[in-house]
Amino acid sequence: MNTTGTLPERIAALRAQVRYHDHRYYVLDDPEIADADYDALFDELVALETAHPEYLTPDSPSQRVGGAPQSAFTTVRHEVPMLSLDKCTTTAELEDWVQRCRKELGAEPLRFTCEPKIDGVAVTLRYEDGGLVLAATRGDGQTGEDITANVRTIGAVPLRLAARTCPPCSRCAARSTCRSQISRRGTSGRGLTGRRPWSTRATARPAACASSTRG
């Protein structure tokens, strides 16, 4: 076990390394280290947090596993309604939509991005002070189900936002809400409960984000 630096510094370094390699594995699909090396980092982190629980924090990568996803959910009301997306199936409908965008945006140039539609579960992710505090399904658009415990098992969803991705604000106490689409590949069923699954991955694709400062 590497004990370079103080204990809190070592724990912080391990968390940073695990988050980095989780991002490369789950999001970029381009791991830099072998699973055995990853497991060594992860196991050292768990061992240190177990021996020194005073340093354990809810956003530690070690808290992503160890608890089964909940099957019973509580209802939460969305701060911002999660409206359904309109669709168009004809050229005329598409042209009408473009004209409405131009009318709303004025002289601002329009830029479009097209990508394949991926079916999945629409969720809202709420971060406060950079930490994940709530994940909820779309539901009826006004209220949804609290699935925070389940989403915390998904490797592609950060438990804490990197400093460079936190929304800009004049105060540290910032709230960021992100609408994402969560989909799963494969059929092994380990995507929500297993650690670093092989044939099943749950991915989160951000669709829209907003942030605000709390009073």
Whether residues 72 and 166 share a domain: the answer is yes
Query: Which of 15, 13, 35 is CA-nearest to residue 25?
Result: 35
Predicted local distance difference test score (pLDDT) of residue 191: 38
The total number of structural domains in the chain stands at 2
Residues linked to residue 211 through DSSP beta bridges, in sequence order: 176
Does residue 57 lie within any of the structural domains? yes
For residues 59-77, give the mean pLDDT: 73
Predicted local distance difference test score (pLDDT) of residue 56: 93
Whether residues 60 and 143 share a domain: the answer is no
Whether residues 119 and 212 share a domain: the answer is yes
Does residue 36 lie within any of the structural domains? yes
Predicted model pTM: 0.55
**Does residue 7 have a pLDDT over 90?**
yes
Check if 87 is active-site.
no
Whether residues 125 and 42 share a domain: the answer is no
Higher per-residue confidence, 55 vs 190: 55
> Which of 19-23, 119-123, 145-149, 154-158 bottoms out in mean pLDDT, i.e. has the lowest?
119-123
Predicted local distance difference test score (pLDDT) of residue 36: 85
Does residue 95 lie within any of the structural domains? no
CATH of the domain at 195: 3.30.470
Predicted local distance difference test score (pLDDT) of residue 215: 27
CATH of the domain at 40: 1.10.287.610
Whether residues 118 and 51 share a domain: the answer is no
For residues 156-174, give the mean pLDDT: 61
The per-residue pLDDT of the chain, averaged, comes to 75
Say which of 87, 111, 117, 171 is annotated catalytic.
117
Give the domain extent around 158: 68-82+114-215
Q: For 26-59, how does the pLDDT look when each residue is reduced to its tens digit (9 = 90+)?
A: 778 788 998 889 989 999 999 999 999 999 998 8
**Does residue 17 have a pLDDT over 90?**
yes
Whether residues 164 and 119 share a domain: the answer is yes
Whether residues 177 and 77 share a domain: the answer is yes
Predicted local distance difference test score (pLDDT) of residue 179: 67
Whether residues 129 and 166 share a domain: the answer is yes
Predicted local distance difference test score (pLDDT) of residue 18: 94
For residues 187-198, give the mean pLDDT: 36
Predicted local distance difference test score (pLDDT) of residue 84: 73
